[in-house]
Structures are given as C-alpha cells and as structure tokens.
Structure 1
Amino acid sequence: MARPTGRPKAEALTELLLTMFRANNLTLAWGDRLVSPLGLTSARWQILGAIVQADRPQPVAWLARDLGANRQNVQRIVNDLMGDGLVAFEPNPHHKRAQLVVLTSKGQQTYEAAIELYNPLVELLAEGLPADEIEAAQRVLSALRTKLETIAADDE
C-alpha cells in the first residue's frame, strides 16, 4: 500500500489500515485455531454469528450485506454449513428464490460451543486494554466502515 506524504491524517489513516490488515489476518488465524476442534473455520463461525445476531431469518444476500462480504462467498460457506447439518433453508414468504437461512439445532449447539471457547480467550485479549480506548477504536472503525460502504454504493 502506498504511503501518502505530507498529510498527517492520511498518513495516520494509512498506518491504521495497515495495522487493521495485519490484525485481521492474525484474528482470522486465531479464530481458525480456536474453532477448528468444532469443525469450523473463522469464516464459518462468522456466518453462524451473523445468523444468530440477525433479528429474524435472512437470505444469503442480506447476511452478506450485514457482513460486508461477497454474496457468492457467503453462499458457498452457507452451502458448506448446510452440508454439515449446521444450517437449513426455509421458504421466504417475500421471495420465491431467496430462501431464508436458519440454524439447525446442531448449528446452534456448535455456535454455543464456539462462544464457550471464545469467552475466556477474549477476556485474556482484553487484559490491559482500557475500555474507553477499545470503544474509541470501535467508533473509528465503524465510521471507516460507513465511509467505505458509501464509496462502494456510489461505485455501483
């Protein structure tokens, strides 16, 4: 990634983006190790989490939108999860082809087991990090995500 020069905010944002890329890669590897005993990857766990966090069953396209992910990639992962008996499709009363994705009981149990593995380790990660700094980082990343979503929508 090119580094802008002479513009303090742009330089700071570039450093943040580079750190975010590195942290994302490390987070995905950490998540993969964490949930591999459950037959999951970080990507599969993330999809299960999106299903759990949704206030109602959603089609794949909506899950992808909520995750900021490519619909085709989410569809492939959902198909894999279905093959493993972790999710199922239900008819969508609002759309004939875009079925709704729901957790099966096995999927719910697997997700809960992942969270049981995650909770003590996230507590360890949080040690020594002030809550107000975590919250500030979350606000900055949320604002960045909103700007990036706006740019992506303008490009469509």
Structure 2
Amino acid sequence: MLTSGDRLVAPLGLTSARWHVLGTIGASERPQPVAWLARDMGANRQNVQRIVNDLEKEGLVAFAANPHHRRAQLVVLTERGRNTYDAAMHLQAPWASGLADGLEVSEIETTHHVMKALLCKLEGSEDVGEQA
C-alpha cells in the first residue's frame, strides 16, 4: 500500500508519509504541535518532526506560535499545502475505486470487520464487537 501510495503522489512531490502528515494536519480541528500530530498518527514524534521540517522548507506547512507552549510550535497547512493535499486526494479517489472493482459489498464489509478485529487485538483490546 505504501509503495502504491508513493507512486500515486510522486508527481506532486509527496510520499505516502508526507501525504499522511498533510492529511493529519488538514483533518485537525485546530493547529497542533508535532507531538500531538504524531500521537494522532500513531507515529514516532521524531519521524513526524523530520517530515514536518521538510514540508516547511517546501512551503507546504508553516509554524505558528503556540500560546500554551513557547517551544512547541503549532503546525498549519499553507495554501500551497492545502492545494497539494487536495490534488493528492483527487488522484486517490479513482485509484481507491479501482481497487474495489469486481468486489462485492459483502466482501468489503467482511474485510473491514477482519481488519478492525486485528487492529483491536494489536492494540490489546479484546472487545472487537464494539470496535467493528
């Protein structure tokens, strides 16, 4: 999946990891520091910091002052970052639809249930019924 995602967004100058970070920033209700973004992504803070720094150098994100913590700046999408993310999602929609071609809805639902069950087990939760 990551390799396919990398190929899909490479023309935009993105990787799957950069795309994921942009999406997490864009989906946040308000600007967040890197540590919070990493937590939301289930990722290592240092890795997310490195990606955010690269995105900032390319003008896709910017840092803003954090009124609650002087050193933990907030990360915000720039207009260029929003446009790049939107372009990635525009590429993703037909790609994702193509993956589902020939599959029955029941097969997709079963796969979803199995993936949720596995995720619950990996996260240590045994109550799969409520999660699925």
**Normalised by the shorter chain, which TM-score bucket?**
0.7 to 0.9
| 1:98 matched to 2:72 | yes
1:48 corresponds to which residue? 22
What CA deviation, in whole Å up to 9, does each residue of 1:101-146 have, x standing for no partner? 1100000010011111111111101112233443443344345434
Gaps of 5+ in 1: 1-26, 152-156
**Bigger-Rg structure (1/2):** 1
For 1:146 and 1:60, the matched residues in 2 are separated by 26
Change (3 A) 1:53 1:142: farther
User: Under a length normalisation based on structure 2, what TM-score does the superposition of the two structures give?
Assistant: 0.84
Length, aligned pairs only: 125
Change (3 A) 1:136 1:57: farther
2:40 corresponds to which residue? 66
Identical aligned residues as a percent = 64
Change (3 A) 1:146 1:115: same
The structure where helix makes up a greater share of residues is: 1
For 1:51 and 1:79, the matched residues in 2 are separated by 13
RMSD over aligned Cα atoms: 1.8
Matched residue SS, 2:87: helix
| 1:120 matched to 2:94 | yes
